Amino acid sequence: MIRLVFLGKLADLAGGDTLEQPGSPLSWLELLASLPTSLADVIASDSTKVAINGELVADKAAIVAKDGDEIALLPPVSGG
């Protein structure tokens, strides 16, 4: 299982904070294709950052998630 974590307003678009994905390995394009278009479009935009297992990734398009990974989808912060 791959665990997707939706932060901020992405949780509203996703209908929940987390989503378990059975497929593994999972590429970025496969991840986008598995989500509703309205959510995938926001996640694909430059303003959404991605962390895998707590580490920010520089190039989200290059990620390949494997079983047990946690992918966090991070919209722009609204600060402290």
Partner 1 sequence: MRDIRLLDRMFIPGTLIGPFTQANPGLGGVCTFVGEVRHDQGVEALELSHYEPLTLPGMHELADRAFARFELMGLLMVHRIGLMRPGEPIVCVSAAALHRRDAIDAVDFCMDHLKGAAWFWKREKRADGWHWIEPRAGDHADLARWG
Residue 51 engages partner 1 in binding (rule: CB under 8 A): yes
Closest by CA position to 17, among listed 3, 6, 31: 6
Q: How far is CA 26 from the centre of its chain?
A: 11
Binding to partner 1 (CB under 8 A) within 9-28 occurs at 9, 12
The tokens for 54 are 């707590």
Interaction between residue 74 and partner 1 (CB under 8 A): yes
Which is nearer to partner 1, 20 or 78 (by Cβ)? 78
Q: Are 62 and 38 in contact (CB under 8 A)?
A: no
| Interface positions with partner 1 (CB under 8 A) | 5, 7-9, 12, 51, 53-54, 56, 70, 72, 74-80
